[in-house]
Structure 1
């Protein structure tokens, strides 16, 4: 997709997404058989519910039908929230990952799996779990040290409500 079309779609759709109380994370145009496929990824601090994605999909479909942003060729529209394995690329992604276990790939080489404690404008404070009976340790990671980061899925993670009880 050309940058111009991407910018045009983003400019067209962002007000609708914001009005729904969501963030527009990604706009992707690809192929699905003979048709083009438009994938819109949205999120919020509370997450994007299935109902919110369905309602937004109807609004986006109507807006696209009124415009010529997708041209005359047939396309399918998919509006969804990001998966658990989405990379953390924006400051708000790190904020949303507070309390979660994250795998960091560092520019200096190596990996670090740690729980995000605090996020500010410069980086993240994390807690590295202790190994073999050792206590967890605190560490500071500046954003420029992080090559990429991704939330780790925890199947036995306690819910915040359980921890408070």
Structure 2
């Protein structure tokens, strides 16, 4: 055998560089279980924000969103456990929703305790014609509310501008 090149053969074979390494494939879209966890967190955070706005209708909507956030978080966690995956945001949604529900229950309980005094105060204030009359209403009903809630005397004075 000779080292002579035959017809159709060329000199030493050089290997061309291979194609560049490809980029990793794009991430897969979130699964329904993963979306459920983030949905629970979103519902709970929005519900908590609406709960603290001074508009009564929005507080009720916030309460509903908090309940929905907790329920959605629990369902997402159960579904994730069943299919052996994660549900990011589900625990956060449950925790934020539970904290918000605790605030709501406390607010409802306090409102129920002082409902008569506060409604009498509102009636007095709506019939007041002058600033002095409004001040008299506060001087009459704030001590009653403080006694009912077992607060120190004068502790509601700093909130006079809110009511």
Q: Quick check: which has more Rg, 1 or 2?
A: 2
Higher share of residues assigned strand: 1
Higher share of residues assigned helix: 2
TM-score bracket relative to the smaller structure: under 0.3
TM-score (norm 2): 0.23
